[in-house]
Structures are given as structure tokens and as C-alpha cells.
Chains A and B, each alone.
Chain A
Amino acid sequence: MNAPLRIRGGLALPRHKPGLDRPILDLPLPPVLLHPLLGHGGRELTPCVVAGQRVHAGTPLADGLRACASGTVRAIERHPILDPYRRHAPCVVIDTQAHESSATAVTSPIMGPATGVIGPIDDADAMRALLSAGIDGQGGAGFPAAVKLRAVGAVGCRLLLINACECEPGIACDEALLQEASSDVVAAIGRLVRVLAAQRTCIAVEHDKRAAIAALKGALCASTGIETLLFEPVYPSGAEGPLLDRVMNHLGLPALPGGCRPSDAGVLCLNLATALALGRALQGEPPATRIVTVTGQDARLDANVRATLGTPVGWLLERLGHTLADAARVRIGGPLSGHESGALGASITATTHAIHLCAAAPAPDPVPTRPCIRCGECAPVCPVALQPQLLHWHADASDLPALRRLGIDRCIECGCCDVVCPSALPLTAGFRAARRELAERARRTAEAERAGVLVQRRSARLQREEQRREQAPPVAARSNVETALARVKARAATRAQTGVGTGATTGDGHRSGESE
């Protein structure tokens, strides 16, 4: 155990971890599961199932998306989703009632038989199982684990960092998991370490999670080689970038190169729950559940629940005993990193850490917004060493090149600058909009470049054809037609003699004439 480390910047927020005083509630399978057809970064996925098709837990629904339970695809249609950027997306709707009885009996046909922990694991098979498991990170970004694993697999795993830091008030899902199932987690990490051949493995956790650390210590007794790194409970120490920077610095490892993902440098950072899901995938279990912290007006109903991915939020809240008023809104995630959503019909995804039921209309921020006086309070709290006051200035002027020069790409949208701003400016919202605009422009530029290449190819092809036409004598062209006509006549004559079917040959003749 080390003296607690502290990430750069950040805010020490009061500890508020709801529902930790009671065990994690296991929710039953809801009657309907909704799986949004959205990949990482808002990319729309093409479904590979059709309405009416029977699916099992683990059946691919699209590239990188697998069914979490058995059932029948009821429809593929637009539904509200929990996303800060868009309200609706096409979803695969799975009716679970029909197959509930047989759900547990079916093993995934894709992942094959359980790999098990006993005996040597075939590395290639295990890696294949991990890559094909379709597990999205259960940390902040929902980044597909397969992408990270593939990169680390290519360069070798120097460091496996399990991120159990969860510093935002109102979110307790990882802490509940560590408190209750640390032995499962440690076993899963052990399996991952063997498959990835990780040189070094650490678990990062804040020192104020005493019960969780005690449980972790007990679980780590059996296994060796997994270090525990204690962190100060500072928001946002759970963010991958600042956390990894500090860990690399502490372990004396070379700093991560800028401009690429940590996994490209052989450093794999996984959220605690993601690590558990991957460890289970090695045993042949499909990704199915996540733990969600649910809070509302009534603190007695606060709980951490284990819910199947795709469970509708409204169903989950009612199941827990919350009353849903007409004006009910939900806040997804924490007070700083989360977003509000009016969609009770939307379903939980891998990144739904917490659901906060708010009954009233949004209260106006009591602090009025004023112009920025460049006081600079925002700079020391920025965990990625940006200068939010300068970013704000250029974001106001929509000066995107200046924003990029100042490093807005590295903004993790943690909201620390919003909290300390004496002028109560919505800094993060402006940065988020600017980042979206930059991403959109980059996408458009890439599209335009691709289109440009196609246009160039087309014009080159047209030019080649033109040249060929000019080189060939015009007589030849007419003779081509004449020969084709002669051929058709000859074939007609043969056909008349033999009596073979007509259509195909005539078509052939036409086509050859056209193509030449």
C-alpha cells in the first residue's frame, strides 16, 4: 500500500455514495430489452438480425453488439436512448418472455465451450474469445474493449491498470462491486493477466473506500503480483488520462506518448466492471449485466442494482418502488459528468453508471452568469493541464484552429472548471460543442477527401476510355457492331436449327456489344 497519490488538478468533493449500506439488488429480466444500434462515437450499426428471429444470449445483433438474453426480436425501430447528444436511435427490441425458461440453458454458440480456469488456457483461443465478446467498456466512454485488447495484443502488455477509482458523488456502482464481489474480480483479473501476459498489474482505488479496500485485500491474499495503488478521493481521478499519467509517473515508467491511445504503447487501462466482464467472457459467459446506482427523492430507495443491459429505465425505477410523476426526468451519470434525459423509455447501456430520478423541473442555477474576468481559477483544477479561460475566449469566438492549438482535443469534459468558475460560465458545454464541431469538420474533410479520390479515379478512367476511343479507328467501331449483328444472325440461324432457348444468348450478344 502506497501513500495516496493525487492526480493533477481536480476537486475534492464531499463523499456521497448511495446504497452502499445494503447488498447489490439483482433485478429480474425485464419483459423487453432495447439495444441501441450505436457504436462508439455515435456510429450507427447495421443490424444482422431481423424481426421475428430468435436470439440467444451472445447472439450477434450487429458488429460489436450481442444479445444479453434469449428471446425473440420483436422489431428494429427508433426509440429514445440515453445519450448526451441524440434523443433517438434505431434499437433492436427483444421480447424476452417467450424464451425465459430456456435462457440459462443455452450456451453461446459463438464463444464455444467455457474456457474455464483450470488447466492451461490456449492463448490464441482465449484472445479470440475476448475480441469477439463484444464488450463495451463500463467506464466513462464506453470504448469497445476489443479495440484496446487488439492494440495491446500487438505490442505486448507492459502494464494492466484496473481502474476502480470512482470519485464522482452519487455514483457507487464500482465500489459496490468491489465491496461485494472482490474475489470474482480478482479471479477475473488473474485470468486476464495470464491471457495478456501482462508484465505488471495494478488496481487503482481511492483510499476512502475502506470497506472495498478491506474486501480487496482479503481477495488479493491468495493471488500475488497484483499491486494496489491508493489514490486521493479527488474528482476526476477515475478519468483514464489523468490517472494513467499519475500511475506511470509513480511506477517510474516512461510517460505515454501524446497523440495515440495508451493501448498502442502497451498500457491497458480497464474499468473494474469491464475487467470482470472480460474475465467472464473467458469462461464463455456473454456480457449481460452492469451495476447501476439508482437514487431518487426517497433516500430509502437508494440502491445499487445489477440490471441486464438493455433494461428500460422506467421499468427499472418502478421495479425499485419509485413513483414516476408525469414531469419525471432522469439524470444519467453523476452531477458533473452526467446529462439529463427525459426518456424513461430508454434503456441502460454499458456506460449507465447511475440514474437519478428528479421529479421537479430543473432548478435554475442560483449563481448568475457573468462575463469571464480571466481570474484563472479554472486552470489549476483542470486535470489535463489545459487553460480553460483561454479556451473559453476562443470558443466564444468560434476560433477552432486556436482551440485545437490550445489542446481542446484533450479536454475530458469533467466539468471541474464549471464548478470553480466565479462567473458561473457553462465552460464545459461550450467546449463540448466546439469538440463536436471539430469532429464533424474532420469527418466532413475526410469524406470530401474520399470523394475527391473517387472523382479523380473516375475522371482518369473517363480519360483513358476517351483515349482508347480516339486511338481505335472509327471503322473498327462500326465493324464491331456489324460483327455483333453477324454473330447474332449466325446464332439465330443455329438456334433455328437446334431449337435451344433464346433469351440468354441474345442478351449476351447485346452485352458484349455494349462493353466494347
Chain B
Amino acid sequence: MSTDLPGLAAVRASLPGRLPATAPLMRSVMWALVPGTLLSAWLFGDGVLVNVLLGVATALASEALALRLRRRPIGATLGDGSAALAGWLLALCVSPTLPGWQLALGVAIAILLAKHVFGGIGHNPFNPAMVGYAVLLISFPQTMNAWPERVLQPLPGLSSGSGGSSGPATAPPASGTPDWDALTRQTPLSAWRTARLDDGPGLQGPAAAPRPPGQRPALVAVAWLLGGLWLLAHRTIAWHIPLSVLGSLALCELVAGVAGATTIGPVAALFSGAAMLGAFFIATDPVSAAASARGRLVYGAGIGVITFAIRSTGGWPEGIAFAVLLMNGAVPMIDRLSGRAVRDERTRT
């Protein structure tokens, strides 16, 4: 205990390396994103890397502009990494073939409108990256839903594997967008969805058979899972939100399957779409999530249920983004209902 630092500073100084801080927290999240990002670039094309670089650069520029306009110190806030992380996450959510100006617009909206209009870091009620994603999805549905054909190709060396059923040869024809169909393919989730809608409500026949996720997206999902587990192990994020998101999504799939509906099954549901990325990296954004541990369980479970609902009955191929945004809107209520301390909550030996 140093004598020239009385009070709180002395206590902080006596606990070196054991206290959390904002900037290292964001840096750890970015480190956890690196393997999945590199894997996506290898499997989906170099467009992923270009998107990430563009997203981060736009995010930093927008953040600097907003801080300048708001007359706030630029260096310290820009260095905390929150803006760069938002740009990175949004870039990972969109197709590698998305035009660069559209991505830049989405990131700028995320930082300027979703974050700084509400007061900057710590004050945004909605996840900025997901706001940007939703704006892009609604504004540019064609480019946002167009994924390169190689996304669905089987992995080299594994072409005779069991996952080959989702290959382009057996995928149902996409409806509506013949121009883009020539260039790109649907993701497994959207392919499954299109087949389901084409077949009508009966969900019968071989075309409606549940499809496992493509090998490449599933492999990337494994990378997100490993990155998320690393974050959990380093206590950068808490287990409540990932567990409740994935748990409730899998449970919904399981119940739907048992009840007789045609589903892709709990495991496939977790490894398709943005479920893993969303559960570990997007829904865990503490600013827009519920504040208490109990509230976070409710918040995550809500995301899982809404994701399942949108995937199976909604008009969009993937539901994580809207689920996160809807639950962001529910956070004040969740906080109000779950924030009260329980008198008889005690530790056990």
C-alpha cells in the first residue's frame, strides 16, 4: 500500500492486473474476432477482409467526426475501441460482395445515428452495429441477401462428406431475383426458407426437408464459438447472455421438432446463420443489454426466441439482428423488473 496515494487510488494500485478496464476489454473482443475473420476471408473470399478494413476505417472516421462535432476529446474515446469494434462486427454480418459505399453508409449510420445522437459510448439504447445492419437490410435487400456462390460450395477435400446435400446442385431455385441469382447463391438458411415458403404451409415433400448449414458457414460458426469461449475463459464477457441466447434457440428448435414442425434441428440452428456470432459478440454488448445477471438471462432468452420466430415464420432469412434490436427496446422494462435486489439472496459455502 503506497502512502502517497491515499484512498481509492491506493486500493486500485494494490490490485494490479486484476481490475477490468474498458479499452483492454474491447481489445480482447477484437482478438477473439481475428480467427473467425481470417477463416471467413479464406472460405468466403477476400471481400471479407476488405469489408472489415473498410468498416473499421469508416467507424473510426465517423467516431472522430462525431466527437469533434460534440467537442469531446477525440484521442481517449477513439482509443477505447468501441467504435472500431462496431464497424468490424457490422462488416462481418454483411455479404462480402456488398458494395463498399453501402457498407460505409451502414457503419456511418451505426456510429453517428445509433451511438452519438444518443450521447456516445454508454448511452446508446440500441446496438449500433445491428442498427446499421437493419438499415442496410431494409434499404438494399438485393445486395444484402446476395452471397457469393462459394459460400455454399463444399470444402475442398471434403466434397464427398455428409454435408454435401446443401450444395448448389440440390439447392432450390431462388425466387424473385434472377439477375443476382446468376452471380450468387443463397445462404443455407434463406435457401431452406425459400423452399418452405414455396411449398406452402403444409411443409411436406422432399423439397422442404430440413437442410443442415453449409460446411463453410458452419466452420466459421465454430471459429466464433471458439473465440467466444476464449472470451468467457478470460472473463471478458459473462456466460449469461451467450448461454441463454443459444439455449433458448436450441430449445425452441427442439420443441418445434418434437411438436412435428419441420425444422433444421437444434444443432444446425446454432451453427447456421449468425447465431454464434450474435450470441457471443453482438448480444453481449453490455451497453445495450440488460444490466443485472437475471435481466441478462431474460434478455438472451428473448433474443433466442425471437430469432427462432423470425427464422421459422418471419419474412427475413436471419433473425438475430432484429431479435437483438427488439430486446434492446425491452431492456428498460427488464431492468425495472429485475433490478431490485433480493433480500434473501445469499452466498453459499
Contacts and interface: CB of A to CB of B under 8 A. Distances in A.
20 contacts: A169-B1, A255-B344, A295-B3, A296-B3, A331-B6, A336-B8, A338-B7, A358-B3, A367-B12, A370-B121, A371-B120, A371-B121, A371-B123, A375-B20, A385-B343, A385-B345, A387-B339, A390-B339, A419-B12, A422-B20
Q: Is chain B's binding surface mostly helix, strand, loop or mixed?
A: loop
A8 B20 CA distance: 20
A374 B19 contact: no
A384 B341 contact: yes
Contacts of B289: 374
Interface of A: 3, 5-9, 11, 13-14, 16, 169-170, 245-246, 249-250, 255, 258, 295-297, 299, 331, 335-336, 338, 340, 356, 358, 360, 362-363, 365-368, 370-377, 379-380, 384-387, 389-390, 393, 405-407, 410, 415, 418-420, 422-423
B25 interface: yes
Interface residues of B, number: 47
A312 B188 CA distance: 79
Given A249-B346, A420-B19, A422-B21, A379 B122 contact: no
B9 interface: yes
A367 B347 contact: no
Residue among B3, B5, B19, B292 with max Cβ neighbours from chain A (10 Å): B3
A170 B7 CA distance: 10
B3 to A, nearest CB: 6
Residue among B8, B15, B123, B345 with max Cβ neighbours from chain A (10 Å): B8
A374 B349 contact: no
A14 B1 contact: yes
B341 A410 contact: yes
A373 B345 contact: no
B160 interface: no
- The 8 A-B pairs with the shortest beta carbon distances in the complex, nearest first, are A371-B122, A385-B341, A422-B20, A16-B1, A390-B339, A422-B21, A8-B347, A331-B6
A74 B183 CA distance: 98
B65 interface: no
B287 interface: yes
Interface string B16-29: 00011110010000
B80 to A, nearest CB: 7
B80 A370 contact: yes
Contacts of A169: 1, 10-11, 14
B121 A405 contact: no
B149 interface: no
A297 B291 contact: no
Nearest to B344: A255
Contacts of B13: 366
